[in-house]
Each structure stands twice: as structure tokens, then as C-alpha cells.
Amino acid sequence: MAKTTSELDRALSGDTRALGRLLTTVEDGAPKVRELIRELLPRTGQARVIGLTGAPGVGKSTLTAALVGAFRTAGRRVAVLAVDPTSPFTGGALLGDRIRMQEHATDEAVFIRSMATRGHLGGLAAATPQAIRVLDAAGFELVIIETVGVGQAEVAIASLADSVAVLLAPGLGDAVQAAKAGILEVADLFIVNKADKPDAQQVVRDLRGMLALGASQEGWKPPIVTTTATTGDGLAEVVTRLDAHWDWLAESGELKRRRLARAREEITALAFAALRARVTKAGVDELAAQVADGTLDPFQAAEDILDG
Amino acid sequence: MAKTTSELDRALSGDTRALGRLLTTVEDGAPKVRELIRELLPRTGQARVIGLTGAPGVGKSTLTAALVGAFRTAGRRVAVLAVDPTSPFTGGALLGDRIRMQEHATDEAVFIRSMATRGHLGGLAAATPQAIRVLDAAGFELVIIETVGVGQAEVAIASLADSVAVLLAPGLGDAVQAAKAGILEVADLFIVNKADKPDAQQVVRDLRGMLALGASQEGWKPPIVTTTATTGDGLAEVVTRLDAHWDWLAESGELKRRRLARAREEITALAFAALRARVTKAGVDELAAQVADGTLDPFQAAEDILDG
């Protein structure tokens, strides 16, 4: 694995093209991902992971770019993973987002990447944690995971983050839709974007009403920040609120709890993915024929597969 | 296992209360289900399994009762499993259906049972095949699985059957809804019930239109039969059509193909259920703590679980 190791060294010492190739390895789910993650593991655990989600059209990419700018102003290294949970074969869909972020293209403390999971065993839910580990090991203090907010899938991806910011906008992805998608429960921060539009305050009021209705989280009450991503208005407050949440996570012990829960989910997802691979490989048809004939009991057949 | 064996003998020799107890064992998913199925297995493979599904209100229970009557007229032993895929804890919900079938209550060649899966590992999808094996071994020539047609779940349950009959009625569970639920593809026979209502012929026309639009199945074109379950009109034709489908299944080799596919799905479901049990048992929290610390790679943790 000498080649991988030197590629790894290059990636970790700031070679963004080498870093990009490592993430392609993660996306492809090549067998060497496992080797790679094992090598990276001791260098991980430092990055703060921020999930940013919202319905299409709320200005997610523009806000992500503005947020990157705000973090850069504070001197921090930032990586963005744009993840589309709706399609395992996308990659192209978010290319536009990458182009819109070109203002940061020449800044080597910023790394932007859209993420697909062509062949990754376990899909995005299993691939995203590995991509986060790569960026973490490469020394990015902040990793922003941007996902399209369309339902349960993005709730799952957002839950990979230490802090989850939910983006709303007047007319699009409003509070009622967010409630339906089960997203109110996972939000640590609400950002109501397009604050220059007349209905923005109504979105804030709706949101307050819904948050008051729901059982409020113990300890941390998700604040609501209004922004205009195109002008940068409100972005400094977003950074302040996210920093406050980070401090709270550390002090309350919630960070440890969340990361433990994440590891549990990740392990389970990988175990199921590995089982799926065994089912494919294990000559299930032969076992099925015996079960259909009545010569093998299905429980035994299941165990045969499980034990590889 | 002497006690189980004698209970089994009683159940197989026509003791319906003993048979009921065996099905309770299957529902509960007790460890002895496996032992039971292994003993039954050599006696299975004879029963014809008919899936009957449709939206609430189409007259499913009345039609099932009428169909049981039509099969009894032809001198056949019939068992009915009423399965509610929407709730793992139901059982009670379908009690009304059982009561409505009391006309057959004194006929010992008819066995009617609603089915829940309180603790069954793998849920209904794993429990239903075991219940079918029990009824098959007990000598019922026909096993009717009646499910509430509400979406993907019932499509899955219906796919456990050799022949799938989809029940529609004017205003309820119409052709468009059936198409949305993906049910047109799995139907081997359409029954338009409440044929005495004025809109029944419209349902038939809609259905014909939709079937013409869809890619028609090679070899078997699902016929449409109109019935009035309350008077028994059309039931003889339902029996004729189902018999014709059974003959076609045998002649075309489709029966063998379907039962093989079913065994494959069953084994896979049981393997995943067994893995879920291992995940629960295997001290995942300890592994997760090591992964969160960066001292164990998640792929290794997943393998540790998979290997029990």
C-alpha cells in the first residue's frame, strides 16, 4: 500500500488534487477504502461537522458559499461536501453548486466537493462518514455537509453532523413542510433566508409557533436567524450561533453522545451492507432451491448466509 | 421435543385448537418455531396459496367468506390467514372479519385465523411463510392470505402467494389507486366487487384501459371478474379463473419460478432479522465507543457484529 500511503501524505499535506482522488476512492467504495480509513483513523476526531439542509430553492448553495466566506473571514479552514441523498448516481446534479462557489476556488483553505456513491456498499449513509474522516484527517476544522432537504434521507444525512442547520425561505420549504418532513426535531439552528422578501417574518412567526407546540429540546433551544445570503446579511450571526452550539455540545456532553450514536448507526449500516454483499455472493439460489423443495429449513439457510 | 411433536400430530390430524396453538407459536416467534418448521417441512409443498388484497371498504371479508363457500361447494379444504401488514401489533383489528365468517365456523374443513406478529423476528414477511407451512402440512389444499391493500407492504405479502387476486370496488380502491400502489403489476386476477352498483362497469373500463397501457404480462393476461359478494354472484367464475391460473402456473413453469423467488426473499429476510438480533446482542455500544474514539475502524466493527 506504499502508493496509497504517499497519496495519503500528499492529500494530508494540502494537495487538493490528491485529496480529491481520496474522496473518489471513498465514493467508489473500492476495497481500499477500508485500508485508507484505518490509516486515517488516528488523525481524526478534530473536525466540527455542520449539516446544512433545506428544500430546493431556499438558496442553499448561495448560503453555503456565504457561510464559507464568513468562516474564512474568521481564519478557519473549511470543507464542503454537497451530498444528494435522493440519487445514488447523481454527482452531476450538484455541479452547478460547485461552480457557484468558484469565488472560493483559488483559496486553498477551502475545499468543495459534491459527493455521489456510485458503488459504495451501504450508499451515502455509509460513504459520508468516510468522506468526513478524510477531510478531518486533512486538517479541515469545519466540514459542512450540504444536502437537499426532501425527506427522511436528508434527515439521516444531517444526523451525521454535530450541528444541524435547517434552511427555510418564504414560499419554499416553509415551516409546515419542514414539520412534515420531521426536520424540526433534528434542527439545532434555523436559518430563514431571503429575509429581504416580504413574507420572511411570517416564516419566522410560523416557525416560532411550531417550535412552541412541539416538545422543546432540553438544554438547547434552536435559535432562528434571518439571513440574506446574496448580500451576506445575517451570516456573522449564523457563525456566532453555530459556535455557541459547538460550545454547548462540548460542555453538556452532548457531543460525545451524538458521536457515539453516529458510530453505532454507521457500524449497523456497514454490517447490513456487508450482509447484503454476502447474500449476493453466497449462492442464495442454491439455498432457495433447497428451501423451496422442502429439503432445507429457511432458518438454517439464513444462518448459512449470515456466516458467509 | 416430545410435547411439541404430539401437539403437531394433533394439529395435523384435524384438531383445530392444536392448530391454533401452533400458529400462536409462529406469531410469537418463539425459538421453537424453527424446530417446528423443520419437522413440518417434509409434509409441505402441496397447498395452493391465494393472495387476496384490496383497499379497506371494497368488501374483502365478505368476498373471502363467499370464496371460501365456493371452494367448499367444490369439496375443498380451505384455510384463511387474515394478515394486517400495517401494524405489527394488530390481531384485534381483523377480529370483526373472523366473526363475519362464522357461517363457516362449524365446518371443520375450513380454518380461519387472523395473524399478528407480536415478537416475530423479521415481522410479517418472515412469519407468514411459516404460517403457510403449518396450514400446508395440516392438509389444507387452499390457503387464502387476505391482506389490507394499503401500499408496498401488502404487495410484499401478496407476493407470498401463488396467485394474487386484487379486489376493487366502485368509489373505493379504484383502478387509479391500484396503479399508484403498484398493485396492477402483481395481480393475476382482478375482482371488481359490488357489481350491482352503477359505477362498477366504469371501474372495469378504467382497469381495462390501464392494463392496455401497461406492458402486458407475457403468457398470462390477468382476467377481470365482476362479483357481488353479498349474493355470491360471480364467485363461481372467480374459482374457475383461479383454477385456470393454477393450471397455467404448473404448465408454464412459473410456479417453480415463483416459489424459488419466494424462498430467496424469505431466506434474505430471515438473515437480516438474525443480523438485527446480533446487532442488539453484540455489545454494539462498546464497539461504537471504540469507533468514536478512533481506536477501531468501523468496517472491522461491522464484521465483528456480522460474525456474531
With an 8 Å Cβ cutoff, are A272 and B270 in contact? no
Residue contact A260–B287, C-beta within 8 A: no
C-alpha cell at B239: 374459482
Is B21 or A152 the better-scoring residue by pLDDT? Answer: B21
Q: Which of A242-246, A289-293, B85-89, B291-295 has the highest mean pLDDT?
A: A242-246
Distance from CA of B63 to the nearest CA of A (A): 30
Between these two residues, A6 and B155, which has the higher pLDDT value?
A6
| pLDDT band with cut points at 50, 70 and 90 for residue A91 | very low
Is the CB of A250 inside 8 Å of chain B's CB atoms? no
Partner-chain contact B260 A288, CB within 8 Å: yes
Supply the pLDDT for residue B95: 43
Partner A contacted by B277 (CB < 8 A): no
Whether B257 has its CB under 8 Å from any CB of chain A: the answer is no
Helix (H) or strand (E) holding A53: strand A48-54
CA angle A259, B308, A308 (to 5 degrees): 110
| DSSP-derived 3-state class of residue B228 | strand
Share of chain A above pLDDT 90, in %: 37
pLDDT of residue A115: 78
Note the pLDDT of residue B107: 72
Asked if residue A20 has pLDDT above 60, the reply is: yes
B63 to A131, A262, B100, B193: CA distances (angstroms): 55, 49, 11, 8
Contact B289 A41 (CB under 8 A): no
Other CB atoms within 10 A of residue A225 CB: 21
Q: Closest Cα of chain A to B142: distance in Å?
A: 18
Q: Measured between alpha carbons, how far is A200 from A174 in angstroms, rounded to an integer?
A: 10
pLDDT by residue (tens digit) across B16-38?
A: 889 989 998 888 777 788 889 98
Q: Residue A215: exposed, middle, or buried by beta-carbon count in 10 A (0-12, 13-18, 19+)?
A: exposed
Q: Supply the pLDDT for residue A96.
A: 44
3-state helix, strand, coil in chain A (%, to 5): 55, 15, 30
pLDDT computed for residue B103 by the predictor: 63
Residues B147, B85 contacting (CB under 8 angstroms): yes
Asked if A268 lies within 8 A of B305 by C-beta distance, the reply is yes
* 125-184 of B, contacting A, C-beta below 8 A: 129
Smallest CA-to-CA distance from A144 within A253, A197, A69 is with A69
Tally of CA atoms within 13 A in the half-sphere of A247 that contains its CB: 6
Q: How far is CA B137 from CA A37, A291, B45, in A?
A: 52, 15, 8
- B271/A42 CB distance under 8 A: no
Identify the pLDDT of residue B56: 79
The mean of the pLDDT values for chain A is: 82
Angle, helices A254-281/B298-306, rounded to nearest 10 degrees: 60
As given in the structure block, the three cell numbers for residue A39 are: 490509516
Structure confidence at residue B91 as a pLDDT band (50, 70, 90): very low
Q: Is B131's pLDDT higher than 90?
A: yes
| pLDDT at res. A6 | 77
Q: What distance in Å separates the CA atoms of residue B289 and residue A181, rounded to the nearest whole number?
A: 30
Asked if the Cβ–Cβ distance from A299 to B270 is below 8 Å, we say yes
Distance CA A108, CA A130 (A): 22
Query: Quick one: closest CA in B to A265, which residue?
Result: B288
Residue of B nearest to A293 (CA): B45
How many Cβ contacts (< 8 angstroms) between chains A and B?
A: 138
In the prediction, which pLDDT does A1 show? 45
**Residue A101: per-residue pLDDT:** 57
Contact A263 B306 (CB under 8 A): no
Quick check: A86 pLDDT over 70? no
Which cell numbers hold the place of B184? 396492477
Helices and strands of chain A, counted as H and E runs: 13, 7
Residues ≥6 apart with Cβ < 8 Å to B241: B189, B223, B225
* Model pLDDT, residue A128: 87
Task: Flag the least confident range among A33-42, B170-179, B278-287.
Answer: B170-179
CA distance A240 to A66: 14
Chain A positions in Cβ-Cβ contact with residue B285 (cut-off 8 Å): 260, 264
Predicted pLDDT of residue B185: 77
Domains, chain B, in order of start with CATH, read 40-252 (3.40.50.300), 266-306 (no CATH)
Euclidean distance between CA atoms A65 and B129, whole angstroms: 54
Max CA pair span of chain B: 71
**Contact A277/B at CB under 8 A:** no
Preferred mutation among A297, A300, A305 to probe B, highest tally of B CBs within 10 A? A297
Average pLDDT over residues B83-89: 55
Give the residues across from A224 on adjacent strands: A190
Q: pTM score, two decimals?
A: 0.67
